[in-house]
Structure 1
C-alpha cells in the first residue's frame, strides 16, 4: 500500500492535468438499425456544447468537461433519449452507439422522452428479464476482478457464492444452462481453465476493454436465442476509434499485464482494436492455491468500413492456460488438490468470426456470420497409492482429453415495416466435431488382481453432430403505450434426431410515463450436457453410449414485471417468475440423481449411464431492484432475490436443487470526488456487500467411504444439508489522473476484497488419508490492485 501511494504521489508531482474530453459515436434507428442524419447531440446542462450527426449517423462532441457527464439526443419524429454515466477523460475518446425509436404519434406538440438509454436492453425484442450493462461497470464495481460474469452476479436473479469460479447461477438453474454469444455467434465457455460442457471458470478470458455495451437475459428470451434454459450473455465487441490512434498499457492482479491498440483502418471509415493479456496472479499470491496458474489471451475486432458489397468485419478471441498441482508442494487445505496426488491441467479457447452486414433498401438489412470455435482441455492425474509408506506407488488415476471444434453459420434478416411493426428472422447452423476421451480408476473394480482399481476408458467419442435453429419474430407497437412481441424458435439436434418448436411472446404496457408492466412467456430446450451424453457403459462386454438418445430438456418460463421511475436517475423494478422443467435425465431405477444438478464444478458425473428423460424440476421467485444511475458524483444499486429451486429424480421425491440458495442480497454504491486545484482528477470509493443462503449439498456417507477408500455420498439424502450463509464485503479505492497538455490518462485502484476476512465454505469432502470429512474454505481477505495508462 505504501509503494502504491508513493507512485501515485510521484505521478501527481510530475504530471499537469487537462481540461476537456471527446464523445463520438453513431446515432441509429432502433428498429431498422440504419443511421439517422441530423440528430442533435448536446451536453446535458450545457446546450451550447452540441453537434449534429452526419450522413453516416456519426457525430463528434468536443470540449466535454472531464468527469461523469450525460448527453441528450433528439431528432424530429423520434423520442428523445439520453446517455448518462459517461466517464470523460483525457486518455481516450468515448465511443457510443445510440438507438432512437420513432414516435408512435408524430404530432410536434407531443414531447416524448424515453429516458436513460442504459435503462433499456439493446435487443429491441427483449421486453422482460433483460439488463443492459456497460463495460465501465465491469471495472468500476468493487470485487469484480474485471470479469463480466462476476459483474452480473450483482443483478437480481443471479448468484455465485463461490469465489473460486465465475459460474453464473440464474434463478436457481445450473450454470450449464447458460448461452454465451459474441457478436451474435454462440461460443464455448470464454474462461481460462474451463472444461467440456461447463460455462464458467476461475478467470475470465473476456477482455472488458474490448466489449461494447451488452445484454444479459435471465428468462423468457426472444425467439433468436436457443439451446439454453437458464440465461444468455449477448456480448458485442466495440469498434476501434475511426479517427485517431489510441493505446493502453495496464497491469492488474487478475487480468494481468495488458497492451491494447486501436485506430483508423483504410479510407472507408474502417477501424481496428486489439489487445493482449498475460496473467500473473500466481506471483501475487491471490490465486487461492499454492499452485502457479499461467494464462494469457488476445482479442480483436477489425472493421473494414463500408463498400459496395456491404460492411465486412472480423473478430476473435484466443486464450490458453495451464496449472500443475503437485501434492508435495501444496498445503493440505488447498481447495483444488490433495497431498497424495499430482495433477496437470491445460485448457484452450478460441473463437473467430467473419461478419457481413448488407443494407437492403432504406429499412432492412441482412447480417451474416461465418465462424469457427475451438475448446480443448486436458487433465492428467496421478495418485500415490499406499501414500507415505515403503510400498508407495505412483499410478495414473485419470486421463482426460477433450477437443471440440465448432463451425457456425448464422444469418439474420431485420426489417422495419413501419414505425409500428418490426420483423426479424434468421437461421443458426452449428456443426460440432468432438474428440473426447476419458479413462479413470475412480470407483472401478480390481478385475486384474494387481491390487489397484482398473484404469477404465469411460468416454471414447470421435464424431460430429449438428444443431440447427431457425427463428422468426415480430414486434408490434399496438398503441403508444402497448408493445407486443411474438415469435417462434425451432431447434434440431442431430444426435437424437429431435426437432422442437418453441413459441415465445412478451408484452409491455406503460400505465403512465413512469410506470410500466410487462409479461413474458417462452418454451426453451437444451441438450443434456455433452459429457453426460457420451458416457460409455459396458453392455455384454462392449462399450455403448447409452445416453445418446436422451431428449432435449424442456423449460417453460413465465415472467411478470413492474418497472417504475422513482425519481430523476432512480429506477425500481420487481419481477415475479416461475419456470417449469421437464425431460431432465434421470436414472432408470429409483434414485435421487438428475442432470439438473450437474454443472457447478470442473467436471461431471462419470457413472450415470442408461439414463431416461423423465426428470422434472421448477424454479420460482421474486426479485427486487433499486438503481440510482451515476449522477451528482455517486451511484447506488440494491438487488435482492427470494427464490426456490426444486427437482425430482426417478424416485419421485422432491428435493432441493444444489443451487437453491433461497435468497441473495447485493448492495453496491460509490462516490467520486474531484481533487486537485483545477478539480481535474478524481478520487473514488466503491463498496459492495453480498450475502446469500448457502448451497445445498449431499453429505458424505462416512462408513461406506472408509470401506471403499473413496468418497461415497449419501444419495438417499441428496442435497439435504446446507452450507453456512455466504457473506462478503469489498471496498475499492481509486484515483484518476488527467493530463493537461497531452492525450494521457492514468488510473490506479486497490480493491480490498472480503475485508471482514469471512471464511465462506468451499466444500465438505471425504479425506481418504485421514478417513474423515474435512471442510475446506474459500479464500479470505485478498487485496486486488491495478494500474492503467491510456495515451
Structure 2
C-alpha cells in the first residue's frame, strides 16, 4: 500500500509532456593506443533527416535531438575500420555518454567504403584472442533473474555454471574451483566483491550496474597481463560520470533502496563524479521494528564511487572504490529429528556474522607521446569477517559453549604498465604489479568441562607476504586476417620463495568475413590464499608449508566462429587443462585438496603439512548460438560438455567436487514498443538452465549402522546430487516522461518453485538406520520487484 501511494504521489508531481529527444555524446579513440581520433564521422543510422556530426580535435562528439528508443551509430574515419554500434538505449532521463574504440585498417586506404559490421563479441582488452566475452551493463536487465548482478550474468555463458545453490552466485569455470577465479577492478586484483561470503560465491553483488562500464570475462588462456589466477578472469571497470550534466537514479525494490548520482564539479572543469549507494530492504524494515524472516535476518549496504579528474599537463587521475558491509543473525532450535521423534541432543544455536569489504584506489593515465601511454594504480583492499556461534542445551540454565572466528585480510598494491603502438601491425605492452599481503585470523573456543566450568582455547594464524608480477605482451597483425598475441608473465611469491615464468600465446585467423579460427595456449600459476602458508606445527614455532610451489595449470584452446549473419553468431571451443603442483594433504588425515576447495577454512588443516602432489585435468567442448539484440529480439543458447578430474600422487583420477559434466542454457527475450507516442517499452525475458549436479562424498551406510554414527566413504566425491534445473522469467516496463525515465521490473527466479538438492540434504539417520534426504534449505520461487527513476 505504501509503495503504491509512493508511485501515485510521484507520478502526480511529474510533468506529462513527452520529451522526444535526448543528447548522445562521447569520445572516439584508437583501440590500441587510446589516442583520440579527430574529425571522425558519426551518423545516426536510418535518421530522416540525417543526424550526424564529426569529432573535434580531442576525439569528442555530440549528437543533439536523438529520438528516444534503441538507436544505432555508424562511425568511420579514413584508415580505420568502419564500426557500427547498435542498440544504444536512448532515454529521457539520462544522457548517453560513450567511449568508442576504432581499429586501424591493416593498410592505409585511399577512400572509405562504409560497410556496417556489428562486432559485439569484441572485447575491451585489445590483446584477447580466445575464450573471452564482453559483458555490457545494459545486459543487467536483459537476462532474466540476473537482477543486475554481473556474476549471475556470466553464468549464462558457455563453460560457466553456479555452485548448484539458488541463493549463491558462485562462478565455476570449466570444472575449476571458484577460488581460482581472478577478480580485478580497474586493472588491479581485488577480493571477491560479493556480500555474505569470504572467498567464493556470495548472495548479492556489491557492485551496481549503474556504475559499471563494459567488462571482460575470460574462461581460459588469458593474455600475459593477467596473473595469479587459474580458472579465469573477471576484469571489472567503472564508467566515468557525466561531466556536463547532473543526473540521478533512485531504485526501490525487494533487494534494497538505491541512490545513484553523477555529474560535474564545475562547468569550467572536465572532472566528474559517480556515486552509488544501496541499503537492503530487510535492513530498512529492521530499523522500523519489522522482521519478515523466520530466525534469520540478513542485512547489507554497499557504496561504489569513481571520481575522474583530467588535467591539461599531467594526464588523468581517477579515485575509485567499493565498500560493502553485511550482517546476519540467526537462531535455530533443534528439538526433534526428521522423523518427529524426540532428540537427545536438543540445543539452541545462535549465530551472529559481521563482514565487510573495502577497496579503494588511485589511478593515473598519461600520454608520454603520440601512440604511447603510461597507466598506474595504487590500491588498498581489506576483507573483514567476524562470526560468533553460541550453543546451549535446550532448557538448561548455565554457561554457554561458543565458537568465534575473527579474520582480516589486507592488500597494498602498486601496478603500472606502458603501452606503445608502433603502427597498425605492432602493439607492445609491458608492466608490473607489487603486492604486500597481510593476514590475521583468530579462532576461539569456549567448551564446557565435565565439572560444568568453561575453558577457552585460541588458535591464531597471522603473517605477511610479498608478491611480484611482471609481464610483456605483443600484438602482431601479420596480415589483415591473421593476428598473433604473445607474451610472458612472471610471478614470484615471497613467502615460499617460489617463481614461475609463464608463456602465453593466442592466434586468430579469419578464413573470410564469415568464418574464423582461433587458438590459445598458456601456463598459468597461482599462490593459494595466504593463511595456507602460515600454518605452524604443534609447537607453534615452525611454518609447515613455506616449501610449497605455486599451483599451476597449462591451458590449450581451439575455437571456431561462424558469423551466420550480421546479427547471429555460432561459436565452438574445445579445451584441455592440465593442473599440477596443487597443494594437498598427502597423509590422508584431512583429505584437503586445493582443486576441490570451496569455502576454505584454514583451521581445518591446522598443524597439517601439505605437499604439491595434487594433479588435475579438465577437458570439454562448448557450443554457443547467439542472436544479438536486434529489433528488440535476442536469444542465447549454450551447451557445455566437460569432465573434471583430480588425483593425488600416483593414485587414480577421481571426480572433482565441480564435475557436473554438462550445462545447458537457453535464454530469449523480446521488447515491444507500446503506446501511441513511442515513449513506452514492454519487455519479456525467459531463461532455462539444466546442469549436472555437483559431487559430494557419500555416506558409508554399512559402517554408519555398525558404528551408530555417520561415517563417510573413504573415496571422496563418489556421489552426485540430482540434476539442477530452473526456469526464470523477467518482465520489464519502461516509460519516458519529461526529463525522466521510469522502469518497473519483475524478475521471478525458479518460476516452477523446484527445490534443487545439495550435498547438505543427505545424512545418516540413527533411528531408522538408513541414509535419508531431508527437505532442502534451498528456496523455491523468488520474486524480485524493482522500480527505478532516472532524472
Aligned residue for 1:403?
Answer: 408
Compared CA separation, residues 330 and 536, structure 1 to 2 (3 A) = farther
Change (3 A) 1:164 1:119: same
CA contact 1:736–1:748 (8 Å) conserved in 2: yes
Tell me the residue number matched to 1:31.
32
Match of 1:747 among 735, 743, 747: 743
Structure 2, unaligned stretches of length 5 or more? 339-345
The 3 A distance-change label for structure 1 pair 9 and 86 is: farther
- For normalisation by structure 2, the TM-score amounts to 0.92
Superposition pairs of residues 26-65 of structure 1, within 5 angstroms: 26-46=27-47, 48-65=50-67
- Matched residue, 1:356: 364
Partner of 2:428: 423
Question: Offset at 1:51?
Answer: 1.4
Change in 2 beyond 3 A, CA 1:113/1:99: farther
Task: Map 1:143-182; keep pairs closer than 5 Å.
Answer: 143-160=145-162, 161-182=164-185
In the alignment, which residue of structure 2 is the partner of 1:721? 719
User: Structure 1 regions of 5+ residues with no counterpart?
Assistant: none
Alignment partners' CA distance in 2, 1:558 and 1:452: 60
Secondary structure of 2:179's counterpart equals helix
Question: SS state of the match for residue 137, structure 1?
Answer: helix
- Looking at structure 1, the residues matched to 6 and 465 of structure 2 have their Cα atoms a distance apart, in angstroms, of 58
Equivalence map 1:693-732=2 (5 Å):
693-701=692-700, 713-714=712-713, 716-732=714-730
**Partner Cα separation in structure 1 for residue 205 and residue 693 of structure 2:** 24
- Three-state SS of the structure 1 residue aligned to 2:659 is coil
Q: Are residue 649 (structure 1) and residue 648 (structure 2) matched?
A: yes
Query: Structure 1 residues 451, 478: closer, same or farther in 2, change over 3 A?
Result: farther
What residue in structure 2 maps to residue 366 of structure 1?
Answer: 374
Contact 2:41 2:75 in 1 (8 A): yes
> Which of the numbers 319, 325, 345 marks the counterpart of 1:320?
325
Deviations 1:468-524 (A, max 9, x none): 100001000000100001100000101101111000010000000121110000100
Distance 1:57 1:302 in 2: 21
Change (3 A) 1:707 1:245: farther
The Cα of 1:461 is off from its aligned counterpart by 2.5
Tell me if structure 2 keeps the 8 A contact 1:169–1:175.
yes
Q: By how many angstroms is 1:529 displaced? A: 2.9
**Cα deviation digits, residues 435-491 of structure 1 (max 9, x gap):** 1122458xx9x9x76699986544x23321111100001000000100001100000
Question: In structure 1, what is the Cα distance between the partners aligned to 2:117 and 2:592?
Answer: 45
Matched positions, count: 771
Do the aligned partners of residues 425 and 167 (structure 1) sit closer, same or farther apart at CA in structure 2, a change above 3 Å counting? same
Question: What is the aligned counterpart of 1:188 among 165, 188, 191?
Answer: 191
Distance 1:681 1:374 in 2: 44
The within-5 A match list for 1:607-646 is 607=605, 609-646=608-645
The verdict on how the C-alpha distance between 1:342 and 1:417 changes in structure 2, with shifts beyond 3 A counting, is same
Matched-pair contact (CA < 8 Å) for 2:161–2:173: yes
Partner Cα distance (1:434, 1:406) in 2: 9
The separation in 2 between residues aligned to 1:249 and 1:643, in whole angstroms, is: 43
Matching of residues 445-524 of structure 1 within 5 Å:
456-458=457-459, 460-524=460-524
User: Which piece of structure 1 moves more, 550-559 or 702-711?
Assistant: 702-711
Distance 2:292 2:77 in 1: 51
Change (3 A) 1:724 1:288: farther
Quickly say closer, same or farther: Cα 1:24–1:707, change in 2 above 3 A: farther
CA RMSD between the two structures: 3.0
Matched with 1:128 is 130
Residue number among 415, 435, 439 corresponding to 1:434 in the alignment? 439
Distance in 2, Cα, partners of 1:505 & 1:375: 34
Quote the offset at 1:607 in angstroms. Answer: 3.1
SS of residue paired to 1:222? coil
- Deviation string for 1:657-697 (max 9, x for gaps)? 11111111111111111111212101111111111011111
Aligned residues of 1:85 and 1:629 also touching (Cα < 8 A)? no
Contact 2:117 2:566 in 1 (8 A): no
Whole-angstrom distance in 2 between the partners of 1:20 and 1:476: 43
Give the match for residue 691 of structure 1.
Answer: 690
The change in CA–CA distance for 1:271 and 1:497 in structure 2 (over 3 A counts) is same
CA–CA distance in 1 between the matches of 2:712 and 2:397? 29
3-state DSSP class of the match of 1:292? Answer: strand
Partner of 2:79: 77
Which stretch shows the higher mean deviation, 726-735 or 596-605? 596-605
Which stretch shifts more, 205-214 or 699-708? 699-708
Write out per-residue CA displacement over residues 265-297 of structure 1, whole angstroms, 9 at most, x where no aligned residue.
343411111111101257699999741111101
Secondary structure of the 1:21 match is strand
C-alpha displacement of 1:3: 7.5
Q: 1:346 to 1:359 in 2, by over 3 A?
A: same
Q: What secondary structure, in the 3-state scheme, does the structure 2 residue paired with 1:606 have?
A: helix
Instruction: Supply the distance in 1 between the matched residues of 2:582 and 2:360 (Cα, whole angstroms).
Output: 33
State the match for 1:570 in structure 2: 568
The CA distance in 2 between the partners of 1:2 and 1:729, in whole Å, is 31
In the superposition, relative to structure 1, how do residues 495 and 737 fare at CA in structure 2: closer, same or farther (>3 Å)?
Answer: same
Aligned to 1:269: 270
Shift in alpha-carbon separation, 1:12–1:656, aligned structure 2, 3 A:
farther
2:90 maps to 88
1:11-30 paired onto structure 2 within 5 Å: 11=11, 15-30=16-31
- The whole-number CA distance in structure 2 between the counterparts of 1:96 and 1:555 is 38
Question: Of 761, 764, 772, which residue of structure 1 is paired with 2:761?
Answer: 764
Which secondary structure does the structure 2 equivalent of 1:532 belong to?
A: helix
**TM-score with structure 1 length normalisation?**
0.92
**Aligned-pair distance for 1:788?**
0.4
